[in-house]
Amino acid sequence: MRVSLIVLLVGSAALAAGAQNTVTPEEARKRLEERNAQRREEREQMVQITAGELMELRAKVAQLEGQVKALQQQSEKKVDVPKKVHTMIEIGMTKDQVMAFVKRKGWRIVGMQASAGVSKMATAEREVARGGSDPTEVERQRTLVTATGKTERFEVVQVSNYKVETGTRTNALGQARAVYATEERVDAKIVVTLTDEIVTEVTAR
């Protein structure tokens, strides 16, 4: 009987404590508003610092900004940009790209012409100088210089090896057998024009 009474008292106390700890939605909203108001007050408080402390803070901020920029540059360097693989000589390619393409394809350059891109033309002018009673004729030369950019033009040939029959020969049994050899033939010709080492014209022949 006493045990039942004790259990009943303990259960009633626990229920009462639970009822006291229960927070209603209105109370929870009120507490949240109080916390937000406290945070706003803390942010709006005026803080006094010395000039030396301000300089230290600025130096620290500048140091952190420098570290962030260095990390950004390192991440940009690590990004590998895929190189374009050319399947044909195209306008806009550089001279180095053309040479690498020709070497990779096993093609050949058979002729090259180059121009410095500067042309000169001399002209003669005659003037009549009237000095006194006897007029004299004076000849003056003028040189016209025209710059158009360095120009290069070369021919690229695509060469392939073909198996051709060159004759026949008789073996030990008296049978005639064909004799073959390898012959190089030009499959295609391309004339490439570069201006200042950039391809500006491609002509197939």
**pLDDT on residue 7:** 44
- What's the pLDDT tens digit per position in 120-155? 566 656 665 555 555 565 556 665 555 567 888 989
Residue 39: pLDDT over 60:
yes
Q: Delimit the domains of the chain by residue range.
A: 26-80, 95-118+146-204
Predicted confidence at residue 5, as pLDDT, reads 45
pLDDT of residue 21: 58
Tell me how far apart the alpha carbons of residues 51 and 57 are, in angstroms, rounded to a whole number. 10
Least confident of 67-76, 134-143, 168-177: 134-143
pLDDT at 172 over 60: yes
Task: Report residue 65: phi and psi, to 5°.
Answer: -65, -40
Segment (H or E) for 104: helix 95-105
pLDDT of residue 146: 54
**CA atoms within a 13 Å half-sphere pointing along the CA-CB vector of 192:** 28
pTM value? 0.42
Of the spans 42-51, 113-122, 137-146, which averages the highest pLDDT? Answer: 42-51
Structure tokens at 45: 């408080």
Q: How confident is the model at residue 174 (pLDDT cuts 50, 70, 90)?
A: confident
Pairwise pLDDT comparison (117 vs 27), residue with the higher score: 27
Q: What is the pLDDT of residue 144?
A: 56
Compute the distance between CA of residue 191 and CA of residue 202 in angstroms, rounded to an integer: 6
Q: What is the pLDDT of residue 115?
A: 76
Angle at 99 between CA 97 and CA 100, to 5 degrees: 65
Residues 6+ apart with CB under 8 A from 96: 197
In this structure, what token pair is assigned to residue 6? 């004790």
